[in-house]
Amino acid sequence: MPKRERTKPAIFSAAGLLRFGEEEESDVQLDPKVVVTFSAIVGVAILILYFARPI
């Protein structure tokens, strides 16, 4: 008995966008800790540049 190919279930959101139940579609896999750390560093750098600007 051949195996059936699994199809991804599609869900239409309220905005009318097609979203898939599978979240592992991208080849890029980022650790959430890396994303949070990078965002925090960028945020602190922006604040430093904002407050260190000449008057």
Q: Which pLDDT score is estimated for 38?
A: 97
Q: Side chain identity at 54, as an amino acid letter?
A: P
- Judge if pTM exceeds 0.75: no
Kind and range of the H or E element at 20? Answer: strand 18-20
Q: Which pLDDT score is estimated for 54?
A: 76
Q: Which pLDDT score is estimated for 55?
A: 65
Q: Are 45 and 55 in contact (CB under 8 A)?
A: no
What would the pLDDT profile of 1-55 be if each residue is shown by its tens digit? 566 666 656 565 555 555 555 555 667 788 999 999 999 999 999 999 999 987 6
* Domain ranges across the chain: 30-55
Map tokens 């059936």 to a residue: 4
